[in-house]
Amino acid sequence: MYILRGNDQYGSYKELICSYKTIYINLYNLDVFDLSGEEDKRATLVRHESFQLWESKVHGMILFKNKDFIKISKNGIDIIALGTTTHRLKQDPEGKKRTIHSLDYFSFLKLDPINYLTFKCQDENKKSISVEQELTV
């Protein structure tokens, strides 16, 4: 769990980052919750689900400088960009140019501020983005 505080082009923010592995389901989950502003306007911002064998080790950490979440497992390193920068160009160790897109880039899909985006990346060939709605009681 991490709490991010700061300012960006949209103003000040305060977010709770929770990451966890789900036992027996083979999922690694990353949830981002908004903690700023009025309590009734706070919402889940993003959910990210990726494949991870429940019996294998995995570590996650946040890089505060550019709001990247790094997941390290025996399969390698995954970078999940949580910042508001739409994309960044990087070069991998083999010299190939890669583009890292921020999850926030897809916020235009939200129809209502209480909606959040779920990124399902369990299979490398089948990735999906869905718009979900907070359940209020």
Task: Specify the amino acid at residue 119.
Answer: F
Distance, CA of 118 to CA of 46 (rounded, Å): 6
Block means of pLDDT (10 residues each) for the chain, 137 residues, are 82 88 87 83 83 88 88 87 83 87 81 78 72 66
Which single residue is written with the structure tokens 């739409």?
86
Which pLDDT score is estimated for 123? 67
Which pLDDT score is estimated for 30? 92
Which pLDDT score is estimated for 53? 85
